[in-house]
Structure 1
């Protein structure tokens, strides 16, 4: 089933050469878009002095890092080969690597960011979820992963981000509230330094 779906998408990719430049660029460098979205979420929260929303944006980034770390462990245990290592005659639009195929690192990272922002900043979260799904599709389209690889990545990233959101944002919010009393972080948090008594 997984191979059949991969081959179907691969044949579709072979017939849609006009989409190759975008798909290849997004599959390789789309994570930069998510970094920009995180920056926008931070800026929106900073401009209003909303520490809870700011903590949510920071947690989204932290969750991506945690999920990627877990993904390395899981991937090393499963050690699934990339589809182009086991299937012959497939179109591959990106550089071939020899690391594990499941879970997809790209999908893991963007899944965590998407769920984190869905929780903390719904307007940005909606757009981020759509972009995360697009990332997952393009990673299969360019021949780098099976569909289950990217679905596993999205699920892992989303699970880490969602499950840890309450505790993660609370811890970060407390750190920011404490740090906000120091003048050197007031520009970062967007709130005035508390005056001395």
Structure 2
């Protein structure tokens, strides 16, 4: 391996911060955990883990270098991500009183629907795109990584979000009888919506 343990640890810390930032995966995971408990949420976490292999692999294979040559494209991508987060936040606040389980596409029972929901959530997640395409190359020299380096980066990229998502799913599954109370759910939706809007407003400043 050409990358050192300190580099991997620093990258792991960035992944923890990425996980703690509210985004589409959080909302999807919480929706399934609230509707069906941990049993309904863990397939989504598995789908997210599979999707988490794609973005760092694309970055390592050189797409990030290509995109770095097009500053305008990256700026547009950043503003698109900004709009997506703000739009999601506004919609969440607008429908704050609506029960999460009414979105059957997201909360449909079964392993396969949950897995696919997780895969789609991470592949279409602008937060993940911006992180892996714009930030990952800053941690490692992707021009000289070996096969074992790539395996280590992918393993960390999958393991940390997977552990965090499973812990979140287990927690939400345990407290869902409290969280799904109408008044509590409305407050959570409004708070989550405001956080998403805040994230969207901060993206252009990063």
- The reply to whether TM is greater than 0.5 is no
Question: Which structure has more helix as a fraction of its residues?
Answer: 2
Q: TM-score, normalized by length of structure 1? A: 0.29
Higher relative contact order (CA 8 A, sep 6+): 2
